[in-house]
Structure 1
Amino acid sequence: MARYMFIMECKEGSQEEYKKRHQAVHPELLEALKEVGISNYSIFMDDTKLYAYMEVDDYHRAMKELENNPANRKWQAFMSDILAMDEKGDPKMYLIDQEVFHLD
């Protein structure tokens, strides 16, 4: 299982709302994440910066499958008012996929 990290950002003043929404992630989204092979998924927050970690065999395939998943589209629309978005209307994400050290 490969490990991936990505960085996102929530809008200033939206930190508490971001936390609140993640206390009640839609069950259908959790199922969709598992269906595409994502596991051990965590998000850490430092002010407005969001650092996400996940394990998945093929990150790019999983993201492509999620793009068309209704539960993911619903969640993305729900989160769009509090996340920094790119010019296409997607959350700004910076993927970090080069692991240089790991300790089990």
Structure 2
Amino acid sequence: MKNRIAFKMKLKEGQKDTYFKRHNAIWPELKVLLKQAGVSEYSIFFDEETNTLFAFQKVEWGFSSQDLSESPVVKKWWDYMKDIMEVNKDNSPVSKPLKEVFYLE
């Protein structure tokens, strides 16, 4: 069974092109890790007016990419992205979960 999760993050001003460039070259080991964590779909959308990133994931029930915070690959990715995103003290992106209010299947 699949679970859908959504969350938002924020880019620093003027970092759109850098963010797109880095994500277009996402590391293969990070892709593998996400798949192993039960993520079958992962989309990120960008709102240019607010620099907000909206992320959507479809994951195996009971799994979440948000549970990968101790992975060396994830920590390395956070360090790589910290200069262009709003981040927490551990360099993880500031992320706010979003509540699903409508779904049409």
> Aligning the two structures, in what range does the TM-score lie when normalised by the shorter sequence?
0.7 to 0.9
1:76 aligns with 2:59: no
Q: Are the equivalent residues in 2 in contact too, given 1:41–1:55 (CA < 8 A)?
A: yes
Give the RMSD, CA atoms, in angstroms: 1.5
Q: Could you say which residue in structure 2 is the equivalent of 1:40?
A: 41
Q: What is the TM-score when the length of structure 2 is the normalising length?
A: 0.86
- In structure 2, relative to structure 1, the CA distance for the partners of 1:88 and 1:72 (3 Å cut) is closer
Paired-residue identity, %: 38
Higher helix share: 1
Q: Distance in 2 between matches of 1:38 and 1:8?
A: 18
Q: What is the TM-score when the length of structure 1 is the normalising length?
A: 0.87
The alignment covers a number of residue pairs equal to: 101
1:67 is paired with a residue whose SS is: coil
Unaligned runs of 5+ in 1: none
* Match runs of 1:1-104 below 5 Å: 1-47=2-48, 48-56=51-59, 57-59=61-63, 62-64=65-67, 66-96=68-98, 98-104=99-105
